[in-house]
Amino acid sequence: MKLYEQVAERLGEAISVGTLRAGDRLPSVRQLSASERVSVSTVLQAYVHLESLGFIETRPQSGHYVRRRQRPLPAEPQVSQPAASASPVSVSALVSRVYRAAGDPRVVPLGAAFPSPELLPARRLNRELALLAREAGEMAIEYDMPPGCLVTRQQVARRSLDWGCPLAPEDFVITCGASEAVHLSLSAVARPGDIVAIESPAYYGTLQVIESQGLRALEIPSHPRHGMELDALEAALTKRKVAAVLVVPSFSNPLGSCMPEENRQRLVRMLAGRGIPLIEDDIYGDLHFGPQRPRPAKAHDTEGLVLLCGSFSKTLAPGYRVGWVAPGRFREKVELLKFAQTVGMPTLPQLAIAAFLRSGGYDKHLRALRRQLASQVQRMVEAVGEHFPEGTCVTRPEGGSLVWVELPRKVDALVLHARALDAGISIAPGPIFSAQKRYGNFIRLSCGFPWSPRLEGALATLGSLARSLA
Amino acid sequence: MKLYEQVAERLGEAISVGTLRAGDRLPSVRQLSASERVSVSTVLQAYVHLESLGFIETRPQSGHYVRRRQRPLPAEPQVSQPAASASPVSVSALVSRVYRAAGDPRVVPLGAAFPSPELLPARRLNRELALLAREAGEMAIEYDMPPGCLVTRQQVARRSLDWGCPLAPEDFVITCGASEAVHLSLSAVARPGDIVAIESPAYYGTLQVIESQGLRALEIPSHPRHGMELDALEAALTKRKVAAVLVVPSFSNPLGSCMPEENRQRLVRMLAGRGIPLIEDDIYGDLHFGPQRPRPAKAHDTEGLVLLCGSFSKTLAPGYRVGWVAPGRFREKVELLKFAQTVGMPTLPQLAIAAFLRSGGYDKHLRALRRQLASQVQRMVEAVGEHFPEGTCVTRPEGGSLVWVELPRKVDALVLHARALDAGISIAPGPIFSAQKRYGNFIRLSCGFPWSPRLEGALATLGSLARSLA
């Protein structure tokens, strides 16, 4: 980074964390030159840069001010309208291209759904792990068979009280993140060729798992705020034999929708009456922006038909790969599948997570993380409004770290994805979120990283690319 | 353990490591009482205990001697003769019962195929991991996407030179042990309903994976020394459409057979000619008792049709779950499946294994481990000859840590398994190693633990249980 960019980055951060607010006057060029120990011309360059990004504005005779967003926030997208037929899935090749690009650290990471590592307690977790590695001895190198470490399951069970869905340690099987939890759950309840009902749009990883197991996806219309439309689901269930329903009721990926409590109850009852298993991916449940954590649908499960999946990948350490499933009556089946496919999980990361949770501070960490993500999502929505073409719609998620953007019809998200990548920006194009290859003019943007001039610049670039395609 | 058992255990260990050899005189009761600082009567009890186990013998007027085995070693089993039809697989429920029992630390562990943790460099590995956890910072908590850590793949590639099968870091995908490598490989090359040709008997974990993917198993006759019978395989391939062949050429589980080099070459050519993928599970390859490591069949692969699977679970740290697959032309597919099902592996265990390998000492460790396992296998074969009923046959593996025991026809291995468990001993009953539920009078015994009076006692108990069933 050039010197003036570094200065701009620091100022942008002060604006991002709220030290400087909309309408505030920035330090004078002379003041900043002195405090930053850079030349006046470097400060001027930094201010010009921030102004070009829309972060600040110059008022003649008066100085530089943090800019108020001029434009109203964009509208929200409508309820999705997928076709009412079940489709075999083949998104893998497309996903492959997308996620490969996202791995490059030089690329602005708007494509992948993980929180910035700087928001996670890396140091404390690694310290717990180092301590355990020194103390655990032979135990650390031995197989840990399913259902996984008891101390970890105890801590997850302890958390389940806070979810409003009290479960016991023996209800859980530890998995390689929520991804494997969903994979094993699907494998336990569905056979190749079976139909699985999912939200539309749906997380591409879930589509890939459905693809890899030879299942068919039935996309159900979904509301940007309330998630899967239950009337539509009910109608579909009367027409077709569905082996399982898979939902992300809390802050779904990519919609960010949150299913109301009464809908969760209705969903569980509807499926219980038909004996259909519900796979509930609760990976974003802890990331609510409002005061109350949404209760998992599993809380309404009286039949053992709900398989609740979660992980610490979005709140503590993706790279520790500690997830879980509470598979209800499918527990034995899930355990056997886990054993057959991977034998078990590494021991030490499980123990480190358990030690971290036992030692306290997780709730405090979560409060800070939620505040931060809420602010980042808000910034992203504003920036989309600022930079994207007229007619763009964007979701208003109340949790998680993703927004779903509907561009004018003419914009081809795959072309936009390719051009953005050329410009050093990764995004997730809409078609990977649908078995029917819908959402050709949608993109998903990640808000996992603290707002910065670099991000604002990326949004400006994306917006002008989108405009050129519209 | 009682005091006299502790004394017996220490003497047994001295015999086991060769400090005391067959025919050697043991210390006098008085000497041992002084050196062990226990009473004369405790020493006498220990000697009576060792004698009852057949470890030592008393010569009147002369003292106690390490006993020479009296009986000749049992014969080897014949080539297996499975039915020539493909079977759907359903071993999971049975396997579940077996592996649950094996997890109990009070049980003598003859049922599970892992080396005793005391034979593995737990302390050094954990130290590497602790150091890395302190140094790695945010990197340690971030997702590690397939194909997995480069430094780890570099070290595995470095090892592949020693296998006689040079591969590059980019040829490998890191997996959750060899189990997941095999699971992903099968998933990449076969669709539900497809037929997979396997050895007979075959590792029950592989049968479970075949079951979980809805594939059918075609068991091929296998020789106790040379593994899969290639004439039989060739005949089967002309009759049936086979989607893949899955073999463990080096020290298969449970047979311990090692496919001769010329057979490996013939196998690879036979399949290349038909365009059939070969999944090669090489997990025991490093555990050869002879001077030469067997070369993987992959060394003969010119078409990219061999998917080579391996791991460090049998040689370094099962609980770190670091395995790999070199999937040839199926690399992209395997990577996508890995991503879809688990996103990736935990970072730190991969890095710790790489650091251990880079720092040297793996070869020295392997030499000691091989010597130890060779001696343990030899002891086990002798003990089976000593204690088991007339007509028992046992394999003579030249690597690995398993023997396969054929009992007289009347002995029901499942009944023996249940009775042994009641007596605090876990074994693996034959029927879990066959999709056709064959091998009703076979058991697999693990030789992963240093020989000891406790083990000798367990073998004596097993032998008398088997006799009572014969």
Q: Which of A117, A120, A348 sits opposite B129 (nearest CB)?
A: A348
| pLDDT band per the 50, 70, 90 thresholds, residue B184 | very high
Both tokens of A148, joined, read: 């996984």
Interaxial angle between packed helices A3-16 and A29-36, expressed in degrees from 0 to 180 and rounded to the nearest 10: 110
Give the amino acid at B101: A
Whether the predicted pLDDT of B71 surpasses 90: no
Whether the predicted pLDDT of B104 surpasses 80: no
Task: Pick the residue from chain A with its C-alpha nearest to B183.
Answer: A341
DSSP A214: T
Any residues with CB less than 8 A from the CB of A355 and at least 6 apart, and which? A128, A131, A132
> What pLDDT score was predicted for residue A187?
96
Return the number of other C-beta atoms located less than 10 Å from residue B32's C-beta. 22
- ipTM of model over 0.85: yes
**Nearest alpha carbon to residue B287 among B325, B246, B250:** B250
Whether the predicted pLDDT of B247 surpasses 70: yes
Whether the predicted pLDDT of B70 surpasses 70: no
How far is the alpha carbon of A177 from chain B, nearest alpha carbon, in Å?
A: 7
> What pLDDT score was predicted for residue A73?
83
Question: What span, in angstroms and rounded, lies between the C-alpha atoms of B442 and B394?
Answer: 10
Which residues of chain A are within 8 Å of residue B176 when distances are taken between CB atoms? 176, 341-343, 345
Which residues of chain B are within 8 Å of residue A96 when distances are taken between CB atoms? 332, 335-336
Q: In chain A, which residues have pLDDT < 70?
A: 70, 100-103
| pLDDT band per the 50, 70, 90 thresholds, residue B86 | confident
> What pLDDT score was predicted for residue B114?
85
Question: What span, in angstroms and rounded, lies between the C-alpha atoms of B241 and B191?
Answer: 13
Which residues of chain B are within 8 Å of residue A319 when distances are taken between CB atoms? 139-144, 344, 346-348
Any residues with CB less than 8 A from the CB of A155 and at least 6 apart, and which? A353, A354, A357, A358
> What pLDDT score was predicted for residue A103?
64
Outline where A275-330 has alpha helix (H).
none
Structural domains for chain A: 3-66 (1.10.10.10), 86-90+122-360 (3.40.640.10), 364-469 (3.90.1150.10)
Determine whether the interchain pair B319/A122 forms a contact, defined as Cβ–Cβ distance below 8 Å.
Answer: no
Task: Calculate the CA A324 to chain-centre distance.
Answer: 17
| pLDDT band per the 50, 70, 90 thresholds, residue B101 | low
Rank A205-214, A400-409, B58-67, B99-108 by mean pLDDT and report only the highest: A400-409
> What pLDDT score was predicted for residue B46?
93
Question: What span, in angstroms and rounded, lies between the C-alpha atoms of B332 and B335?
Answer: 5
A118 and B CB contact within 8 Å: yes
Tens digits of residue pLDDT in A410-423: 999 999 999 999 99
State percent of chain B over pLDDT 90.
74
Find the farthest-apart pair of alpha carbons in chain A and give their distance in angstroms, rounded: 74
- The long-range contacts involving A333-337, CB below 8 angstroms and separated by at least 24 positions, are A333/A188, A334/A146, A334/A173, A334/A184, A334/A185, A334/A188, A334/A307, A335/A146, A335/A147, A335/A173, A335/B96, A336/A146, A336/B92, A336/B95, A336/B96, A336/B208, A336/B212, A337/A184, A337/A187, A337/A188, A337/B212
> What pLDDT score was predicted for residue A70?
67
Whether the predicted pLDDT of B205 surpasses 80: yes
Q: Is B12 left (phi over 0), alpha (psi -120 to 50) or beta?
A: alpha
Which residues of chain B are within 8 Å of residue A214 when distances are taken between CB atoms? 191-192
CB A415 within 8 A of CB A422: no
How far is the alpha carbon of B285 from chain A, nearest alpha carbon, in Å?
A: 19
Determine whether the interchain pair A126/B133 forms a contact, defined as Cβ–Cβ distance below 8 Å.
Answer: yes
B344 and A CB contact within 8 Å: yes
Phi (first) and psi of residue A45, to 5 degrees: -60, -45
How far is the alpha carbon of A136 from chain B, nearest alpha carbon, in Å?
A: 8
CB B323 within 8 A of CB B331: no
Task: Pick the residue from chain B with its C-alpha nearest to A182.
Answer: B341
